[in-house]
Structure 1
Amino acid sequence: MKRLVVLGGGESGVGTALLGKEKGFEVFVSDKGEIKKKYKDVLIHHEIEWEENQHSDSKILNADVVMKSPGIPDKVELVQKLISIRVSVISEIEFASRYTDATLVAITGSNGKTTTATLTHHVLKQQINVGLAGNIGDSFAKQILEKNYPNYVLEISSFQLDGIVNFKPHIAVLTNITPDHLDRYDNNFENYVTSKFRVVENQTEEDYFIYDADDSVIREWLITHPIKSQKLPFSLLKDIENGAYLKDKNIIITIDNNQIIMPINKLALEGKHNIKNAMAASTVAHLLKIRKQTIRESLENFQGVEHRLENVVRINKVQYINDSKATNVNATYFALESMDAPTVWIVGGTDKGNDYKELFPFVNEKVKAIICLGVDNEKLMRTFGNMVDVIIETQYMSEAVKIAYKVAEAGDNVLLSPACASFDLFENYEDRGRQFKAAVRNL
């Protein structure tokens, strides 16, 4: 019997353990921290051996295959030991994809992947049987075990792509590439770019690659690295023969002379970045033979993603907007770009080596006050101190919202778009977003 060791007892880990057991592996789950009660209960119910608050070498180094959670860096000693003794260390998407013949749509990128994946799933599910997994919802492995959909839309991070061997999506989507998570890539942007492009490395001429042709990093990489799959770029700036582009306020998508035309004023989501997300999603839908009318209607009635430019409530003619999912500068760039009123901006958290320069034009033009919400706000105070009349720091969400309420006037926006990770004051970006919404509703 082959031994599967799972490092990390979270959503992807427990899903992998269940699928592994079903496929006849001897399974062991090991977590360096505590395993949440809901996951422990599942492991106990299925009689899967586990440990927490430690990694026991004696129970791990004898594995035939190891699935490590995306949160564990390759550099940690245990992973290095496994690699040195030639144990295969893979990610959940690699393990799970070995047990399905489903058509896979893999969506990756520094920003926009959650919205694009959710939007793509929303369009496809109107007509075909399709699951949504990866970084969203129930784990891919668990869905293959329980639902076994014939199609999947997967939101995939670079960390998950680092652990693939044979994973091959029929359709790969790359939304954009901007510096992010460089702490995990030796602060080398090239390493991160290479990681993102692993999404196409196993594709053949029968597969498709959908990407942002306006992104210079992607364009340059493709010049020096030929790929086998058929390219379907999208662009806001130039006409595209095969793919999607913008002309006279219409999205035009062409695949093998078959065309869809959609007016952008009917899209449910606002902002330039969302036109691109809509282009990517509808190109996927067009490839999978979804009716044109269905695609149009789905883009018009899509509700958006929680914590991504989410309109919370309007109080005294001030709109409160939750963009807690903006955990890097580029995501906040899109948020500030889409503001059409004077904005009180709540920013801060765990800085990942951020360079805020690209935000300066928007801050000068649209931001009237800045509230720094983090344990260490020194860099933000230094960077933006001279740009706005009001800059205040706090370590409490409730206080940040009360300050914003005092500073904002009728017609303004209050925007939570942190440009940073959340782990200094919150459990994760969802926790941060929910606290913001609760504090706003308490006003």
Structure 2
Amino acid sequence: MKKQRLVILGGGESGVGTALLGKEKGFDVFVSDKGKIKEKYKEVLIHNEIEWEDETHTESKIINADLVMKSPGIPDKVALVKQIHEKGIQVVSEIEFAAKFTKATLVAITGSNGKTTTASLTHHILEQQLNVGLAGNIGDSFANQVLEEGFANYVLEISSFQLDDIVDFKPHIAVITNITPDHLDRYEYKFENYIKSKFRIAENQTKSDYLIYDADDEVIVNHLKNNPVQSTLLPFSLTKVIENGAYLEGDEIKITIDNNKIIMPTKNLTLEGKHNVKNAMAASTVAHLLKIRKQTIRESLENFQGVEHRLENVLKINKVQYINDSKATNVNATYYALESMDAPTIWIVGGVDKGNNYSELFSFVNEKVKAIICLGVDNDKLMETFGGMVDVIVETQYMSEAVKIAYKLGEAGDNVLLSPCCASFDLFENYEDRGRQFKNAVRNL
């Protein structure tokens, strides 16, 4: 019998992980990347005798596929992808492919913001008592973990792009942290398309599965009203009393599932800010569903260290606090960052604008921001939008210079906040690269 041909577009973490799992499962595997494949990934492919190419796509070697796994970074509108679809070849994401080869309990977390923190926090709580992996948009590839580790449970952080290419993927527990306009350039600039994409996380769920979501998020609530799902719903809220799910009363989180109630104090949460109370609610609800002890949940919430590049305190120099929030790649993420500032702030912002509407930031900028440093290739929109709101607004294309300007402007008691509000691809490899350059520049002051 002829082997099924699996073609993988994109030779990054998810692509190479899928290649290894595919080979192990008896596929004829070919990896093709339009860009350069990193040396460390090339070595893995060569060592495992998997055929690959980079800096080109050889059409004849791709359109003879039985199945294509494409990297989430490649849009559907690319000519090659259109051609694959026209040929009737199934295109899937890594999570769809890998989920077929594991019987593990899957916890899948999506949302415009908070998904990395919620996934990391959920994993941190569960690993105290369960055999659990952390994958998806974060850490080591899910496919590779299915191959190498075989965990009994996985916490998966999942982007809308990964959800766009699922077929049967069905998490036992799904979480939607929130939905705000993001990546609209990939969704024909229609918010509705992006919302539908996020809700695909629940499309294969049944009554015996769970959907945990923010009941204070009107976008989610309205979409559920008009497009009911099969899943058992467990909402969480900061403002309403929730019968089945989680809510905040005073400074306590109350979680009820099937009349089984637990209470978590929020006084000693290591993560600050209202949005992090929500992340804690979502993570604790998952843990409660999976029968983690109350004491374990409480201790884990109190000793969780947070996520790199997400409101990460870097250093205090001359009584000025430098904060790395490079992971804030959209307006809503920066909203949370500015909301949590309790001192005059010098704000470093900019990058690739994904059709941002900055108006929801105006009140915070007026109230808390004393200077703005625009760090991007094209800063015109930022300069026009915020120019009249602050006394000082400057632009640069170098992180080291941005940090030096901030150092000159900073006075005792100020914050310097890198919260870019935009994607990083104009000047940096990715948001991690941007965050690391910021931290290095601060340490070199």
The offset of 1:343, in angstroms, is 0.6
Structure 2: distance between partners of 1:371 and 1:31: 36
Where does residue 240 of structure 2 map in the other structure?
238
CA distance in 2 between partners of 1:370 and 1:264 (Å): 33
Q: CA deviation at 1:56?
A: 1.2
Amino acid at match of 2:273: G
Aligned-partner Cα distance in 2 for 1:370–1:75: 36
1:19-418 equivalences under 5 Å are 19-418=21-420
Q: In the alignment, is residue 16 of structure 1 matched against residue 18 of structure 2?
A: yes
Question: How many angstroms apart in 2 are the aligned matches of 1:361 and 1:100?
Answer: 48
The gaps in structure 1 that reach 5 residues or longer are: none
1:116 is displaced (CA, Å) by 0.3
Could you tell me how far apart the structure 1 residues matched to 2:265 and 2:184 are?
Answer: 38
> Where does the alignment leave 5 or more consecutive residues of structure 2 unmatched?
none
Q: Could you tell me which amino acid in structure 1 is paired with residue 122 of structure 2? A: T
2:441 aligned partner, one-letter code: A
| 2:405 matches 1:439 | no
Distance in 2 (alpha carbons) for counterparts of 1:208 and 1:180:
25
For 2:314 and 2:348, the matched residues in 1 are separated by 15
Report the CA distance between 1:394 and its aligned residue. Answer: 1.0
Deviates more, 1:243-252 or 1:287-296: 243-252
Deviations 1:292-318 (A, max 9, x none): 000000000000000000000111111
**3-state DSSP of counterpart to 1:206:** coil
Say which SS state the counterpart of residue 266 (structure 1) adopts.
coil
C-alpha distance in 2, partners of 1:72/1:37?
A: 21
After superposing on structure 2, the runs of 4+ consecutive aligned residues of structure 1 that deviate more than 3 Å are none
CA distance in 1, matches of 2:224, 2:231: 12
The residue type paired with residue 425 of structure 2 is F
Alignment deviations for residues 121-176 of structure 1 (CA, whole Å, 9 cap, x no partner): 00000010100000111100000000000000000000000000000000000000
Letter paired with 2:410: A
Give the deviation of 1:423 after TM superposition.
0.9
Quote how far apart the aligned CAs of 1:282 are: 0.2
RMSD: 0.6
How high is the TM-score relative to the length of structure 1? 0.99
Separation of aligned partners in 1, 2:263 and 2:316 = 34
How far apart, CA to CA, are the structure 2 residues paired with 1:65 and 1:282? 38
Letter in 2 for 1:204: T
Structure 1 residue 288 displacement after superposition:
0.2
Between the aligned partners of 2:12 and 2:131, the Cα distance in structure 1 is 27
Could you tell me how far apart the structure 2 residues matched to 1:221 and 1:14 are?
36
Deviation, structure 1 residue 39:
0.5
Shift of 1:259: 1.3
Residues 341-371 of structure 1: CA deviation (Å, up to 9, x unaligned) = 1111111111111110000000011111111
Aligned pairs, number: 443
Counterparts of 1:104 and 1:163, CA distance in 2: 17
- Range that drifts further, 402-411 or 88-97: 402-411
- Provide the rounded CA distance (Å) in 1 between the counterparts of 2:266 and 2:414: 25
Cα distance in 2 for partners of 1:7, 1:424 equals 23
1:240 Cα offset (Å) = 0.3
